[in-house]
Amino acid sequence: MTERSSTDTAADGAGFLDAAALAEASARAERGLAAVREGLGKLGISSPPRILCATKTVDVRVINHLIDSCSLGLIGENRVQELLAKWPYLHRDGVEVHFIGTLQTNKVKYIIDKVDMIESCSSMPLALEIEKQAAKRGIVMDVLAECNIGREESKSGVMPEDMDGFCDQLMKLPHLRLRGVMTMAPKLRSEDAYKEYFRKTYEIFVDISREKLHNINAPDPVLSMGMSDSWRAAAECGSTEIRVGTAVFGERIYPKEQQTGA
């Protein structure tokens, strides 16, 4: 990959913080990641979940700091355009990049060769487009079936009662590899309140893992659930991957062009 300067990075929008803000943001992220790791350790879970850092709006140089200095090995992006802007500058050796946001079918072609997993496989039209684009490149794309466990109209995902049939259809697509389940619970006031939804998702995950994923040549099944306000509850309910952004990076800092709507 061609070496690009920090000036180029900032000009492309992948890096937008000045030197002082960058140092502060990097230190904050390092503390945040350490706190989540420590918190997981204190839960006393024999197999704690992996930590995916959700890097939406995060300066790529802050992400690289965590990769280089803190052994961060898993990141997730929500937006196709932002992923593409950061892509040339990410220190990707030994790092998994997942797509975790709502994905439009017409955007699949832009990321199909840039991510290791699409966690938000939420419909058959999307699955078929992933299959089409993966077939063109001769690859098999790992996916998670997204479950709308809260039955929220504002969110994508498959209804709980339809997950079994949806996963059956996914497994018929030769260029997709179903690895497990992802969910985003409704916004609630306390971590304990989340557990009702996480327990239901875990039951779905166990059934799918037992009935459909046991004979796939793949690493252990993935249950991606729990975010910055709910990761402890998710870990206690069987999550194998938590997606944390604010808990690591603090409140989102938006580039000026996003703040002005440009």
The predicted pLDDT at position 122 comes to 97
Q: Which amino acid is at 162?
A: D
Q: Which amino acid is at 181?
A: V
Yes or no: say if 243 and 54 are a contact pair by the CB < 8 Å rule: yes
Yes or no: say if 101 and 128 are a contact pair by the CB < 8 Å rule: no
Unique residue bearing structure tokens 């994923």:
213
Residue 239 placed within a domain: yes
Residue 105 placed within a domain: yes
CATH assignment at residue 64: 3.20.20.10
Would you tell me how many other CB atoms lie within 10 Å of the CB of residue 255?
A: 18
Averaged pLDDT of the chain: 90
Residue 1 placed within a domain: no
Yes or no: say if 11 and 257 are a contact pair by the CB < 8 Å rule: no
Residue 157 placed within a domain: yes
Residue 57 placed within a domain: yes
Q: Is residue 182's pLDDT more than 50?
A: yes
The predicted pLDDT at position 1 comes to 35
| Whole-number Cα distances in Å, 56 to 14, 47, 79 | 11, 27, 7
Confidence category of residue 255, pLDDT binned at 50, 70, 90: low
Residue 107 placed within a domain: yes
Q: What is the mean pLDDT of residues 154-161?
A: 94
Closest listed residue to residue 144, CA positions, set 200, 103, 109: 103
The number of distinct structural domains making up the chain is: 1
Residue 103 placed within a domain: yes
Confidence category of residue 191, pLDDT binned at 50, 70, 90: confident
Residue 213 placed within a domain: yes
111 vs 189, more confident: 111
Q: Which pTM was predicted?
A: 0.91
Q: pLDDT, tens digit, for every residue of 233-254?
A: 999 999 999 999 999 999 876 6
Which domain does 120 fall in, by range?
6-259
Q: Is residue 3's pLDDT more than 50?
A: no
The predicted pLDDT at position 47 comes to 92
Q: pLDDT, tens digit, for every residue of 8-50?
A: 554 344 677 899 999 999 999 999 999 999 999 999 999 999 9
Q: What is the mean pLDDT of residues 56-75?
A: 97
The predicted pLDDT at position 254 comes to 66
Q: pLDDT, tens digit, for every residue of 78-107?
A: 999 999 999 999 999 999 999 999 999 999
